[in-house]
Amino acid sequence: MKIQYDLHLHSCLSPCGSDDMTPCNMVNMAALLGFDMIAITDHNSCLNAQAAIAAGKQAGVTVVPGMELCTAEEAHVVCLFPTLEDALQFQVYVDGKSYLVENRPDIFGRQLIMGEGDVLLGEESRLLLNATKVTAQEASCAVRLFHGAAFPAHIDRDSFSLLASLGSIPPEAEFRAAEITASGDVEKLLQMYPELRDMILLLDSDAHYLENMQDPGPWLDLPENTAACLIDALNGTIKATWGRT
């Protein structure tokens, strides 16, 4: 089945995200736009995933729990998991390899932790924007240990991307997918980095505000609309076709 997806969305837990980007708001906006599947990928945290998954069940949208990890190279890697339990176990791993720097809401923004129904549970005091001690290769391996899949984010950007940080995508990381921005020149990237030809090339919004959530266009052809099936596809366990309309 053809799945309309957006696998890179930030909730109000991300300090650079809008306070209006609550789990219910972002999921319901995804439903209104016509998405079948989205992923919640806050910076270095999965704490709003449970509320988003619950909202997804109400709205009829599959919500994949995840995070956008900032690696030791200061590159962003999207990490997705088949279950909330797997995501929260990975959260413990990341917390143990993070620098404890206090957030300054007046500078970086608030980091709101939400419960089901968008009940405010509190604020994350640790700044979530910092690089962790986890390298890109370690991230890819660790995500698989927790039954998930990872892919480098917005590889065509000149900051916070693996290509900007390292000049290439390390083959030892064994990424099976990569993300390109909407303005990225796919053919140029394929010419410069032939290894991308063997990868699923994803297009996500990386939205931090409701108004930045894009209309559906990119799709994945998967056997079923589930997080587990997506993870299998991103890890190359099952074959998946992809495209953009």
Give average pLDDT by consecutive 10-residue segment, the chain, 245 residues. 97 96 98 98 98 98 98 97 98 97 96 98 97 96 97 96 92 95 89 92 97 96 97 95 88
What is the rounded CA–CA span in Å between residue 232 and residue 207? 25
User: C-alpha dihedral over 133, 136, 141, 147, to 10 degrees?
Assistant: 90
What is the rounded CA–CA span in Å between residue 229 and residue 85? 17
The number of beta carbons lying within 10 Å of the beta carbon of residue 32 is: 10
State phi, psi for 18 to the nearest 5 degrees: -70, 145
What's the confidence (pLDDT) of residue 11? 98
Place of tokens 């957006």: 6
What's the confidence (pLDDT) of residue 67? 98
What's the confidence (pLDDT) of residue 16? 92
The sign of the torsion formed by the CA atoms of 74, 133, 77, 49 equals negative
What's the confidence (pLDDT) of residue 156? 95
**Which residue from 105, 146, 133 is spatially nearest to 44, judged by alpha carbons?**
133
- Cα–chain center distance at 147: 15
Residue 119: beta bridge partners? Answer: 115
- Do 175 and 166 touch, CB atoms closer than 8 A? no
Q: Using alpha carbons, list the distances in angstroms from residue 12 to 15, 140, 174, 232.
A: 7, 26, 31, 29
What's the confidence (pLDDT) of residue 25? 98
Q: Using alpha carbons, list the distances in angstroms from residue 36 to 98, 127, 149, 166, 199.
A: 33, 32, 19, 34, 22
What's the confidence (pLDDT) of residue 244? 85
What's the confidence (pLDDT) of residue 79? 98
What's the confidence (pLDDT) of residue 173? 93
What's the confidence (pLDDT) of residue 189? 93
